[in-house]
Structure 1
Amino acid sequence: MLAALDRDDPLKAEDQRVDVAARWAIWRAEKARRAADDRGAGVSAAAVFEALSRHLPADAVVTVDVGNHAYSLGRYLESAGQPVLMSGYLGSIGFGYPAALGAWAATGGARPVVTVTGDGGFGQYATELTTAVKYGTPIKHVLLDNHALGKIAKEQRAGDFPVWHTDLVNPDWAAYARLCGATGIRVERRDQLDAAMTELFAADGPALLCVEQDPELL
């Protein structure tokens, strides 16, 4: 198409592929740096989505909840064309897991369904895991656990307010999943991610991978 354009046309397109490729290389290097960042307080979001990008089935449908993890997914997940369903931040924390149930029903179970949530959102609909177990719904769930409503705390700081009532007391989500009859997996270090992702996607039926996340490494 570029060759077909009139070279004297002031509106002709410029080939920006070289510049885009260079910027993409810069961003990938930055993502790799962030993925390797480790303060000893949990796993960085960049590392989680770097691993998920490599393990995500090509025909998967992804749903994402509301929170800091959704921003991190947008920054770091390298989709190979998999659709991502989100609520558009319409005051809808808790959207992720019910949306995954809906995506499974809408596809007739013909496609893998993966949901990404935080602990705050999933905590509001956690008993829906028993629905998935009851109907054998093989949703693969990646839960980033920072023990807080992290997005709300971030907004409070941005407004120069004290952080107020955003911390959460959670169960061990992997143990909770097993009590519900699902597969439960727990990760506390980056070097555990690959094996955990392999186990998650190989599991029969619903499975939950809880990642202890560093709340500062978004």
Structure 2
Amino acid sequence: MNEETLAGAIAWTLTDLGVKRMFGVPGGGSSLDLIDASAKHGIDFVLSRTENAAAIMAAVTGEMTGAPGVVLTGIGPGAASVTNGVAYASLERAPLIVFTDAHEETAIAPPHQIFDQRSMFEPITKARCRLNAEDGATVFAELADMAIAEPPGPVHIDLSAKVAGTTVKLKSAETPEPSKQQIIGDLSAATRVIEATEKPVLIVGHQCRPQKRAEAAIRLARALNGPVMTTYKAKGVFPETDALFVGAFTNAQLDHSVLAESDLIVLCGVDPVEMIPGNWTHDAPVVVLSETAGLALPFVAAEAISGPLADIAAPLSETKVKSAWKPEKIAAHRDRLRQTIANNSTPGRSPDEVIDAVSAAAPAGTRLAVDAGAHMFSTMARWPAAAPHDVLKSNGLSTMGFALPAALASWLEEPDRPAVAVTGDGGMMMCLGELSTASRLSANVTIVVFNDAALSLIDIKQQRQQRPPLGVRYPKSNFADAARALGCDAWTVGAQDPLEFALSEAFETDGPTLVDVTVDPSGYRDQLTALRG
């Protein structure tokens, strides 16, 4: 047996799991031990300006790679500040390991910055633990495995500096036989239901983003030969240029106009967290295919099959379906959905105009990260996607302040692939300091700010409730000036200024760039009504 500090043993495990970088704002405790030990294993530490942004970057890295993302924070306020990003990982099913500095159990000092951190994380993590020197290496390895096990999610670890620096014995690595996930449910019954259908609709969810599952979902779509919809997180899993693709599924009123014509709805890899709250109004039977059993869906499934999605979809893809869908009908649905939520008739520059211009100017292969907010409707409807993770979005939590950290995570993982962050002014304010992180890293990231000086989505909801406009509007900010002050190149595009030139310059400039675009928000209310009623 070899000896190593516990921090070093943790670094060994992270290396074996394929972790290449960690994120965070370190405190003066165990986080310093972890940074030092991990650096010796070639694991970089990426300093962020906020713990929330660090957790989002780590969680998005976990989503893209399948290896757990790692975030480090200090004790007390650092731990408290990271919770929004951890909630993102929890609701979005992202593998994440959260290390927080912890006080020494024998400490006799006053309880400065000390509270029950594990209890705080309990609702938003799969497991929590305070590591000790005796079995810390083994317990950590078990927690890391738990983070990536279906459904993936965050685990929280309290670690004191004394324990992190304690010498422990490393046991010889033993590779256990991987346990095969069992298929639960009646595949034969599901096959019979599918064989009887003439007008099936397939809805593809975020569980299908891994490549093998994506390929299985595409084969199933071909067998069903009917309209295909994808959740926001699954955007790109089924190529949007394919004739079977009709649009996004969020459980909104507009989505149901397609489902109303079906005689069978098949959910493949859809998690209930991807659906906005609302009644399920369809009498057509539903077949649910999922990596995890016991999902809290808003209907009773005719058949529910859980297990490895690729294994489940394979026999179902051999089913002979006599689809009555006509290509022109599927195309009509696709065109109608796109036209219904169009937002391009405003007096000033419309959101549709901006996102179309960004899409046209962006280099081929650019990955999109989009923030929560009213601008998201046009962005998700109009940005083209052809593969999993072409678009990064917070859907389950729908947190603001997501787009820039997500774009930075994308660039760090694939530095040769450009990334663009589309955000509103509210979301930009929530992560403004990360522009300096982008500058420090010389990240090839372009940020496009839809600037309308309001929390527009909340403003719309306030208007619909016939309330006075209080608490949702504010003076317009100059994000281009702020970006330059933080080390980025930036352009301001006023209401009457040409947009294409600024976007072209931004995408051609090395390093982080920002384009601050004045947008007319007057069409958002009708757009939301068309989508959700």
Compute the TM-score of the two structures, normalised by the length of structure 1. 0.82
CA change 1:171–1:29 in 2 (3 A) is closer
Tell me how far apart the structure 2 counterparts of residues 86 and 127 of structure 1 sit (CA, whole Å).
Answer: 20
Kindly state the Cα deviation for residue 177 of structure 1 after the two structures are TM-superposed: 1.5
**Are the counterparts in 2 of residues 47 and 190 from structure 1 also a CA contact under 8 Å?**
no
| 1:64-122 C-alpha deviation (Å, 9 max, x unpaired) | 11100112212332335571111115152111111111222222x12111100000011
Amino acid at match of 1:127: G
Matches within 5 A, 1:1-218: 12-24=322-334, 34-35=343-344, 37-39=345-347, 42-79=348-385, 81=387, 83-88=390-395, 90=397, 92-107=399-414, 109-189=415-495, 192-218=498-524
Report the RMSD for the aligned CA atoms in angstroms: 2.6
**Are the counterparts in 2 of residues 53 and 79 from structure 1 also a CA contact under 8 Å?**
no
Kindly state the Cα deviation for residue 191 of structure 1 after the two structures are TM-superposed: 6.4
Kindly state the Cα deviation for residue 12 of structure 1 after the two structures are TM-superposed: 1.0
| 1:135-157 C-alpha deviation (Å, 9 max, x unpaired) | 11121111100101111111222
Tell me how far apart the structure 1 counterparts of residues 346 and 464 of structure 2 sit (CA, whole Å).
Answer: 24
Tell me how far apart the structure 2 counterparts of residues 34 and 164 of structure 1 sit (CA, whole Å).
Answer: 25
**Are the counterparts in 2 of residues 146 and 212 from structure 1 also a CA contact under 8 Å?**
yes
CA change 1:123–1:106 in 2 (3 A) is same
| 1:8-36 C-alpha deviation (Å, 9 max, x unpaired) | xx9511342222334555667778x853x
**Are the counterparts in 1 of residues 453 and 477 from structure 2 also a CA contact under 8 Å?**
no
Q: Which 10-residue stretch deviates more, 201-210 or 191-200?
A: 191-200
Percent sequence identity over matched residues? 31
Kindly state the Cα deviation for residue 179 of structure 1 after the two structures are TM-superposed: 1.9
**Are the counterparts in 2 of residues 58 and 80 from structure 1 also a CA contact under 8 Å?**
no
**Are the counterparts in 1 of residues 346 and 522 from structure 2 also a CA contact under 8 Å?**
no
Tell me how far apart the structure 1 counterparts of residues 408 and 321 of structure 2 sit (CA, whole Å).
Answer: 48
What SS does the corresponding residue of 1:162 show, helix, strand or coil? coil
CA change 1:25–1:149 in 2 (3 A) is closer
Identify the residue that residue 5 of structure 1 maps to in structure 2: none
Amino acid at match of 1:86: K
**Which structure's relative contact order is higher, taking Cα pairs within 8 Å and 6+ residues apart?**
1
Amino acid at match of 2:329: D
Which structure 1 segments of 5+ residues have no match?
A: 3-9
| 1:192-218 C-alpha deviation (Å, 9 max, x unpaired) | 122122111111110001110101134
Tell me how far apart the structure 2 counterparts of residues 211 and 161 of structure 1 sit (CA, whole Å).
Answer: 28
Tell me how far apart the structure 1 counterparts of residues 477 and 463 of structure 2 sit (CA, whole Å).
Answer: 27
**Are the counterparts in 1 of residues 343 and 352 from structure 2 also a CA contact under 8 Å?**
yes
Amino acid at match of 1:116: V
| 1:163-214 C-alpha deviation (Å, 9 max, x unpaired) | 3211123431112212222111111247612212211111111000111010
Tell me how far apart the structure 2 counterparts of residues 80 and 198 of structure 1 sit (CA, whole Å).
Answer: 23
**Are the counterparts in 2 of residues 43 and 189 from structure 1 also a CA contact under 8 Å?**
yes
Identify the residue that residue 41 of structure 2 maps to in structure 1: none
Between Structure 1 and Structure 2, the one with more strand by share is 2
Compute the TM-score of the two structures, normalised by the length of structure 2. 0.36
**Are the counterparts in 2 of residues 120 and 168 from structure 1 also a CA contact under 8 Å?**
no
